[in-house]
Amino acid sequence: MIGINGSVVVNFQSFWNKVQIVATDDSGNNVYFDEVGFTGLHRSDPWLAEVTYDAGTGDWDVSLDGNSVISANFGLDEAVTLTGNSAYVGLGAATGLGFDNNDALSWELQAVPEPATFLALGLGLLALRRKR
């Protein structure tokens, strides 16, 4: 099993040219598992990975160099118990008994507010405008 209880892991196995999505709940039970082969991970030049998650639909998509590689559909709340609106996000690398060079040259996290937040913001702005 990859990851820890109550986690979602997107695993790039560059030595084996595989990409996985693994989700486990707080008890360690698999919520979701899928793995695909993707030739092109084990190379010397950098590659760009993008992981997107839509909380409204539960859709996950993992793209490499702009090409969708693996998709899934499950809610984050099926695996992760959030305290308030907090979550840990991180990077890790391992090769097992193989050898590969794993360098994260840069990364970013973009949290997009849910539609209800936009609606509340819009109504608030409308109320301010009407008050004037």
pLDDT at 127: 46
Exposed/middle/buried for residue 32 (C-beta within 10 Å: 0-12, 13-18, 19+): middle
DSSP string, 15-45: TTTEEEEEEE-TTS-EEEEEEEE-TTSSSSS
The CA radius of gyration of the chain, in Å to the nearest whole number, is 18
Q: Residue-wise pLDDT tens for the chain (132 aa)?
A: 455 788 888 988 877 888 999 988 888 888 999 999 988 777 778 888 899 988 889 999 999 889 999 999 998 888 888 776 667 777 776 666 777 777 788 888 777 665 555 455 555 444 444 444
Nearest alpha carbon to residue 14 among 48, 38, 45, 30? 38
* Rounded distance between C-alpha atoms, residue 125 and residue 32, angstroms: 41
pLDDT at 27: 87
105 vs 67, 100, 101, CA distance in Å? 20, 15, 12
* Rounded distance between C-alpha atoms, residue 68 and residue 62, angstroms: 6
